[in-house]
C-alpha cells in the first residue's frame, strides 16, 4: 500500500514537472504561433487580459519582451515604474496615460494626463512613474507592449505622493512567477 501511494505521488510529481517544463520553455512550440491560442490570464487583476507574446522566462529572450494586453472599461495598471524602457502601441480603444517623469524628485507628484487612442504609440523611459488605464466606458483598450531588459522589475506606488524609496518591488512580476526559477532552497532536513 505504501509502495503504491509512493509510486502514485512520484508519478504525479513527474507529470507536474512535464507540464511545468512545457509551459516555461520554447522546446516543442511551433516557430509561428497563433496569438489567439497562447495562454492568457488576468493574474488576479480585474479587467485585465495579459498574454506574453514573446518572453524572457517563457521563451528565452535576453533583450526584449512583448505582451498583448487588453483592459476592460475602467481597468488600469497600478501606478508604477520599472528598470526598463517600455513602448506601447495602441491597437484598439481609447484610454489615458498618467505620466510623472520626476524620478529626480522624492515622489512622482501629480501626473500629466495624455489621451491615448487606436493607432497611437508612446514610450516610457526607465524609472518614470506612470499608469495606463481604459477610461472609455464602452470599449476595451488593447495594446501591444514591448519592454527592454526582461524580466521586468516593477516598483509599485499606492499613490502619486508615495516616496520613490517606499515603492514596493514586485519581482518576479505576476506573469513571470510561474516560470521564475528561484535559487534552490537549502534542505533543512
Ligand atoms: C488562430 O486561433 C483562432 C482561435 O483558436 C482561430 O479561430 C483561428 O482560425 C486561428 N488562425 C489560424 C490562421 O489558424
Ligand atoms: C495606423 O496608421 C498607419 C500609418 O498611417 C495606417 O497605415 C493604418 O491604416 C492605421 N491603422 C488604423 C487601424 O487606423
Domain residues of the chain, as ranges? 34-179
Q: How far apart are CA 189 and CA 183, in angstroms?
A: 18
Q: Is 92 in the pocket of ligand 2 (CB under 6 A)?
A: no
Dig out the grid coordinates for 2 from the structure: 505504501
For the stretch 25-45, pLDDT in tens is 888 889 999 999 999 999 999
Interval between CA 70 and ligand 2 midpoint (Å) = 19
Cα angle 161, 165, 168 (rounded to 5 degrees) comes to: 85
Specify binding-site residues for Zn(2+). 80, 82, 86, 130
pLDDT bracket for residue 24 (50, 70, 90): confident
Residue whose grid cell is 484598439: 92
Interval between CA 32 and ligand 1 midpoint (Å) = 12
Query: Domain 34-179: which CATH class?
Result: mainly beta
Cis before residue 172, ω within 30 degrees of 0?
Answer: yes
Q: Is 91 in the pocket of ligand 2 (CB under 6 A)?
A: no
Please tell me the pTM assigned to this model: 0.85
Amino acid at each position: 500500500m505504501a509502495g503504491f501511494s509512493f509510486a502514485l505521488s512520484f508519478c504525479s510529481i513527474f507529470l507536474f514537472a512535464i507540464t511545468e517544463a512545457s509551459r516555461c520553455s520554447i522546446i516543442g512550440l511551433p516557430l509561428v504561433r497563433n496569438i489567439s491560442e497562447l495562454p492568457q490570464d488576468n493574474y488576479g487583476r480585474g479587467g485585465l487580459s495579459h498574454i506574453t507574446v514573446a518572453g524572457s522566462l517563457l521563451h528565452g529572450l535576453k533583450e526584449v519582451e512583448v505582451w498583448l494586453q487588453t483592459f476592460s472599461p475602467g481597468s488600469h495598471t497600478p501606478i508604477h515604474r520599472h528598470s526598463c524602457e517600455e513602448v506601447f502601441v495602441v491597437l484598439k480603444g481609447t484610454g489615458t496615460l498618467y505620466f510623472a517623469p520626476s524620478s529626480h524628485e522624492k515622489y512622482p507628484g501629480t501626473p500629466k494626463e495624455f489621451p491615448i487612442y487606436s493607432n497611437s504609440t508612446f514610450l516610457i523611459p526607465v524609472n518614470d512613474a506612470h499608469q495606463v488605464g481604459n477610461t472609455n466606458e464602452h470599449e476595451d483598450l488593447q495594446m501591444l507592449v514591448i519592454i527592454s531588459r526582461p524580466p521586468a522589475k516593477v516598483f509599485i506606488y499606492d499613490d502619486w505622493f508615495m516616496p520613490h524609496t517606499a515603492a514596493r518591488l514586485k519581482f518576479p512580476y505576476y506573469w513571470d512567477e510561474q516560470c521564475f526559477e528561484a535559487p534552490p532552497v537549502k534542505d533543512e532536513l
